[in-house]
């Protein structure tokens, strides 16, 4: 690989993990398409999983006291069940139609979130000392979305952002996506997608990942709720456009 391509991938990694450090999700939206164009999907998918697993472990050390495992674990289990059902397409619905429906829903919520004025919460907040049926439902339908069209995160992010401020939103997503990306990494190892060549490339990008996480974390501590909502809104609208048009 020439030096210009390598510098491009390093810059992409930096931007993606500033976003991860800031919001707790979203780097795959940047890493996967740009790495695919530059070095191919056989590098892009393992890079996304491994980078997110590394980032998740690092960020977990800063938020573990804020994580409600009674909230997250049922959501993760429901997401796994939904993923299995979605992957087997038991509903017999066209994946293209599913992409349009889910993309439209995500777009509408993204627009709604842009108009939010950073209020503290909604009137009915789930009780985090017990299992949350709403969180489990979000995980289930997010899993179905992931199983059918490869995108589970936005549904869970929408549920969390509707009810919670940025700190709790980000902390739970860090925990949820860490587990998901550990599983993805093992699947890629078993399938032979992770090898010396792509791991060697990832090592060049690792410093950019660390710097990006640090910068994103600093931004998260300073950003207002309203501006945070708008960043999340832009991510969700970008995802929706990708789902509907591509």
pLDDT of res. 144: 84
Q: For the segment 43-79, what is each residue's pLDDT rounded down to a tens digit?
A: 888 888 899 999 999 999 999 888 988 889 999 999 8
CB distance 63 to 170 below 8 Å: yes
Residue 154 token pair: 């936005």
Reported as a pLDDT band with limits 50, 70 and 90, residue 244 is confident
C-alpha 68/C-alpha 66 separation (Å) is: 7
Helix, strand, or coil (residue 213):
helix
C-alpha 208/C-alpha 204 separation (Å) is: 8
Output the 3-class SS for 166-208: HHHHHHHHHHHHHHHHHHHHHHHHHCCCCCHHHHHHHHHHHHH
**Candidate ranges 124-128, 184-188, 211-215, 241-245; pick with highest mean pLDDT:** 211-215
**Which residues contact residue 139 at a Cβ distance below 8 angstroms, ignoring those fewer than 6 apart?**
74, 75, 76, 77, 78, 79, 82, 156, 176
Q: For the segment 117-161, what is each residue's pLDDT rounded down to a tens digit?
A: 655 455 556 666 666 788 899 999 988 887 777 677 889 999 998
C-alpha 106/C-alpha 149 separation (Å) is: 14
CB distance 125 to 210 below 8 Å: no
First-last CA distance in the chain: 28
C-alpha 148/C-alpha 38 separation (Å) is: 26
Quick one: average pLDDT of 194-221?
90
CB distance 149 to 102 below 8 Å: yes
Across all residues in the chain, what is the average pLDDT? 86
pTM, two decimal places: 0.84
CB distance 135 to 75 below 8 Å: yes
Query: Which stretches within the chain are classed as H helix?
Result: 3-23, 28-39, 41-63, 69-87, 95-115, 133-149, 153-163, 166-190, 196-222, 225-245
C-alpha 166/C-alpha 225 separation (Å) is: 6
Higher local confidence (pLDDT), 15 or 81: 15
């Amino acid at each position: 690989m020439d030096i210009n391509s390598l510098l491009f991938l390093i810059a992409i990694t930096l931007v993606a993990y500033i976003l991860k450090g800031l919001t707790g999700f979203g780097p795959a939206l940047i890493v996967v398409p740009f790495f695919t164009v530059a070095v191919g999907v056989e590098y892009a998918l393992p890079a996304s999983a491994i980078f997110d697993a590394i980032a998740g472990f690092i960020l977990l050390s800063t938020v573990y006291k804020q994580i409600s495992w009674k909230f997250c674990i049922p959501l993760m289990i429901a997401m796994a069940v939904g993923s299995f059902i979605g992957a087997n397409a038991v509903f017999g619905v066209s994946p293209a139609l599913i992409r349009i429906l889910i993309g439209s829903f995500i777009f509408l919520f993204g627009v709604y979130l842009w108009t939010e004025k950073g209020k503290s919460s909604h009137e009915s907040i789930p009780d985090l000392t017990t299992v949350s049926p709403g969180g489990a439902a979000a995980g289930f339908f997010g899993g179905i979305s992931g199983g059918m069209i490869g995108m589970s995160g936005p549904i869970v992010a929408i549920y969390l952002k509707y009810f919670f401020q940025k700190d709790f939103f980000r902390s739970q997503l860090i925990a949820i996506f860490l587990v998901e990306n550990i599983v993805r990494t093992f699947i890629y190892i078993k399938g032979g997608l992770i090898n010396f060549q792509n791991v060697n490339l990832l090592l060049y990008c690792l410093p950019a990942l660390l710097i990006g996480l640090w910068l994103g974390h600093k931004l998260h501590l300073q950003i207002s709720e309203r501006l945070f909502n708008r960043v999340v809104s832009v991510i969700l609208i970008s995802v929706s456009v990708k789902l509907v048009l591509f």
